[in-house]
Amino acid sequence: MAAMRLLTVSEDGSFVQKRFAKDSIPLYAILSHRWSIHEDDEITFKEITEGIYDKRKPGYQKLQFCSAQAKVDGLHYIWVDTCCINQSDQNELSVAIYSMFRWYQKAVKCYVFLADVLTDSFSEHAWESAFRSSEWFARGWTLQELLAPEIVEFYSRDGVRLGNKSSLERQIAEITDIPIEALRGKSLSRFASEKIFGWAERRQTKKAEDKAYCLLGVFDVSMLLDYGEGENMAFSRLYREIENRIPGELSFLSTMCT
């Protein structure tokens, strides 16, 4: 696992970054969320580095939620993609995307923050309709963030725990078409590539190439990132990498490339 930056809360209550070598990473919680439509609403890497950020931003609410829940769970560090990766550094971004599946896999807990699910006006379990229609399920990156961690907990925007990957596995399987066996941690190598592509087929990403790049960890392959190459070329390269790793997939992947 690559070195990573984590967030912690300093004595004055501000968020600070700490970088850890791959062999000294402490226990941490990790956040899964949908970025705001306006990226300026998120707390950025630069803002954390400079120690200047707007606490009125929706992104700050996510940081507060994640750190508070981690504290309840006895964890002092959290990882949040918006402010733990220097996305202006192409090399660092590439390493982060290669490493992200394992970062989620090694997290003690993954907290899913569902910004479009509110419970304060619902009776018990009446939130399920909003849960099923949450835009979080349509994200490309959601696939690895759902499958990689052992413990995934779901929270509404108002911080109410809705359940976890185990207690909600029936609903999640129905929403995503991901088999319950995969949600329970069965090795992804036991599933045909065609099936896994089916789980990802209708997912959306802001950058076209990320539709392919978000599957690197799922298939346990790596390749150079080239934003600007377009979705088709990114998938063609991904198919070749999968075929190199899993001989015999060529017949299926050749039909995907045409």
The pLDDT tens digits for 217-250 are 999 999 989 999 999 999 999 999 998 887 766 5
Assess whether 129 and 232 both reside in one domain.
Answer: no
Q: Looking at 124, 153, 186, which one is the last position of a domain?
A: 186
Domain count, the chain: 2
Tell whether the model's pLDDT for residue 258 goes beyond 50.
Answer: no
Residues near 80 by Cβ (< 8 Å), separated by ≥ 6? 7, 30, 31, 33, 62, 63, 66
Distance CA 253, CA 171 (A): 30
Distance CA 154, CA 113 (A): 6
Tell whether the model's pLDDT for residue 50 goes beyond 70.
Answer: yes
pTM greater than 0.95 = no
The tally of CA atoms less than 13 A away on the side-chain side of residue 193 is 24
More confident residue, 13 or 135: 135
Contact between 215 and 234 (Cβ < 8 Å): no
User: Given CA atoms 118, 120, 121, 123 in this order, what sign does their dihedral have?
Assistant: positive
Q: Looking at 186, 202, 224, which one is the last position of a domain?
A: 186
Q: Looking at 146, 162, 186, which one is the last position of a domain?
A: 186
Distance CA 250, CA 49 (A): 46
pLDDT confidence band for 177 (50 / 70 / 90): very high
User: Among the listed ranges 47-61, 69-83, 122-136, 186-200, which one has the minimum average pLDDT value?
Assistant: 122-136
